[in-house]
Structure 1
Amino acid sequence: MADSKDPTEFKDPDRTLMRPNPGGRLVVASPRLLDPLKGLGPYRPLRPQILFKTNPLASGAMDLIQLASRLGREVADPGSPKLLEHCLLGLADYVTGLKTAAVDVKTQSKASYCLAAFIDEFVLETPWGAHGPWAKKSLLETLHQDSWGGERVFVWIDAWLEQPSLHRYQLEYILLLLRLGFRGKYGVIHNGKASLDHLKGRIEYALGLPPVDRHQCLSTEPIEPIIRPHKARLTPFWVLLSWTGLALCLVMILLMTRLENRSETLTAMVLSKNPGPPASSQ
């Protein structure tokens, strides 16, 4: 594989992680391992947003995105070692799906990185995640040897925004994660929320999308494609008011002209029926 000078690129994005089984003994999984989501609380499923259904990066990640949103609401540890294993297997399946969809290797790695960072952030913000096995060995550290908490994501966003037409799938995908609550470095820096909102606005503008309500970070409502308003809708109010006043003035002038014409006609009729006194003879 050719070397890359880009420090944000992975050295071997197509590698396979093998987990050893000492002694080759068969491990019988407990019911909890067979169904690691069994003990999680109830949830309302997140519907994939209409705009992103044809995007393989986004549509293939919805199961793990759903899981991350559930884990972020868990107060007690639901069994983090088993859930970590479940997420690792899920991310491997995600990459396999991207390969099947003919997504290039670099994009596969970056998409996996973004999704791992998204899940890690939700988990590590819980008490059990911040002080448990997940904090010692997160998804990013396990899969991508990265302990920076998703810093590379924002380097890639800046690069994608330089050529949005060539990176539409990547921008749609990361915008979905940002809208669903991913903050990365903006979660810890001063005035991070405003800066993150500005970044979302840049991505939405590059994609030609309408902005959304920033208070609904976990909104499940479908997002419709942007509809450009007609020029008439962009006309300032004072211009409309001026045109209305001008129209009223023209109507008044027309009415006054017609009234004057009718007054002259009536005056002529009255004078024709009542002639003046005859002139006196000298």
Structure 2
Amino acid sequence: MADDGNKTIIMPNPGGRRRPAPGNGFGQSQPDNIHPAPGEQSPLGHQPSHLTPSSQQHPAAHHVHDLTFGSLPNTYLANANDILVFVGNLNCVEPMADVTSIRREVESLFTGFESNLTALGYPADKIVLARYMLCCLVDELVLNTPWGSQSSWSQQTLLSKYHNETWGGEKFFLILDKLQANLSQNIALIELAYVCLATGFCGKYRLAKDEGAGLFAVQQKLARILEQYYPQADTELSPQWRGIGRGNEASKISTSPWLWASILLLILSATYLFLFFDLRKQTEPVYQMLAKVGWQDIIDQELMNYNQPTSADTGKTPINLSALLRADINAQKVMLGEQDGFAVIHLVHPALFASGSTVPAAESLPSTSAIAQLLTEFQGRLLIVGHTDSTGKAESNWVISLKRANAVKDWLAGVNPQPGRYIARGVADTQPLKPNDSAENRQLNRRVDIVLLAKGAN
């Protein structure tokens, strides 16, 4: 696994931790010499000049911020602060730096690390484990730098000097597994191991072919363990997140009158649309009821004029509609039908009415001469019924269908003016000839029916 300085690292937030029991590695008094006063030299070993990038030496180098663990309650991390700072600045070390001098200064950091923990009374075996993990971290990251891999560091690593071992990539994780067997006593060392992994140590996972999945799983497991021991406190995301004050001036939201006018207009428009469609929904049943008013009375009155009110009497009205309207039938302008025993002329030309229109196309109406002859030979009343499809536009389908019926009624009155003979009704889309599931069927349903209120027409 290549060393990627930009990878995401999960770091438990030390803020708000509860103090663990004494003896497990944190919560104890920090040595006075961990943070020396300005101008004093740290007994942990001064930060080597080789380890800090210089703006003169690296004009193009990115500025590196030192990691700071000295303020943490974990004493292992607090005393390993300078070692971890060194690891964080490895990529900024001059390729031609004096590796021998660097090695000498790093060893002095390890000496200070051990001596401080010993002075604090930490068990020797735990100090050895902490040193082992830090040696693994430093050795691996140094040997993965261009200058470190070509230096004498590879001949004698820190691990070989302090622990007489050449590689700790496997043993590091064995130690970590054993530490997890007793979390309460080893949580400080577990956190140190987590920081080593987060800083870049990979060990046996560096050459793994799982693209880092195994190492990531280990880090995730440790993060969950640390979260259990370090409850997160609600902290501010930034120490300076508040804006700069403006004296005694109160913060005011300046808004343009046009903004308020636009908001008001939007509210009024939404209210209008809601009320419009709600009113339209409520008026549909009213239109349907009004369309039925008087319908049955008309039918009953006409049926009473004949001896057989429930069947067609073809002998009393010698009008052959099929012959009279043959040309219009062939031109697909009309269809003949029957309703309640009365002959019905369906005006069904596809272009008779456009969708939403109430004005019939003159070329789609039946022959004026044929209709004039019909109105002369047939002296009864005519019921003109308007229909729509199911795709209503702005006006209600009930209004549109009634307007279509009145338009045909006016056309008939122009052919044969007889006031009171023509009755107009609108039934919207309640009586379709075909289902409104296609454009062709919807065209057929946009029609006007002329009902001859007398028996015998055929």
Relative to the length of structure 2, the TM-score reads 0.37
| 2:53 counterpart letter in structure 1 | G
* Structure 1 position 37 matched with structure 2 position 36: no
Distance 1:59 1:81, change over 3 A: same
Match of 2:107 among 88, 110, 115: 88
Distance 1:182 1:85, change over 3 A: same
Deviation at 1:94, TM superposition (A): 0.4
Match of 1:185 in 2: 204
> Matches of 2:85 and 2:103 in 1, distance apart?
15
Match of 2:131 among 112, 118, 126: 112
Task: Between the two structures, name the one with larger relative contact order (CA 8 Å, sep ≥ 6).
Answer: 1
> Matches of 1:38 and 1:69 in 2, distance apart?
13
Deviation at 1:71, TM superposition (A): 1.9
Distance 1:72 1:138, change over 3 A: farther
Deviation at 1:209, TM superposition (A): 5.2
Deviations 1:54-86 (A, max 9, x none): 111111001011012212333513211111111
Distance 1:208 1:35, change over 3 A: closer
* Structure 1 position 72 matched with structure 2 position 91: yes
| 2:232 counterpart letter in structure 1 | I
Match of 2:58 in 1: none
* Structure 1 position 145 matched with structure 2 position 145: no
> Matches of 2:222 and 2:157 in 1, distance apart?
28
Deviation at 1:150, TM superposition (A): 3.8
Match of 2:432 in 1: none
Match of 2:221 among 183, 196, 202: 202
Relative to the length of structure 1, the TM-score reads 0.58
Match of 1:260 in 2: none
Deviation at 1:125, TM superposition (A): 0.6
Where is the strand percentage greater, Structure 1 or Structure 2?
2
Deviation at 1:161, TM superposition (A): 1.5
| Unaligned ranges ≥5, structure 1 | 1-33, 211-223, 229-282
> Matches of 1:98 and 1:39 in 2, distance apart?
24
Match of 1:160 in 2: 179
Contact 2:110–2:131, Cα closer than 8 Å, also in 1: yes
Deviations 1:110-164 (A, max 9, x none): 1111111111112111111111111111111111111014432110111112221
Deviations 1:148-207 (A, max 9, x none): 144321101111122212211111111111112211111122215111110111112222
Deviation at 1:95, TM superposition (A): 0.5
| 1:46 counterpart letter in structure 2 | L
Contact 1:56–1:101, Cα closer than 8 Å, also in 2: no
Distance 1:180 1:35, change over 3 A: closer
Match of 2:433 in 1: none
**How does 1:46-65 map onto structure 2 within 5 Å?**
46-48=67-69, 53-65=72-84
> Matches of 2:76 and 2:155 in 1, distance apart?
28
Match of 1:132 among 146, 151, 159: 151
Partner-residue secondary structure (3-state), 1:226? coil
Contact 1:160–1:170, Cα closer than 8 Å, also in 2: yes
| Unaligned ranges ≥5, structure 2 | 1-45, 55-63, 235-458
Deviation at 1:104, TM superposition (A): 0.4
Contact 2:70–2:79, Cα closer than 8 Å, also in 1: no
Contact 2:168–2:203, Cα closer than 8 Å, also in 1: yes
Deviation at 1:35, TM superposition (A): 7.8
Partner-residue secondary structure (3-state), 2:183? coil
Distance 1:142 1:72, change over 3 A: farther
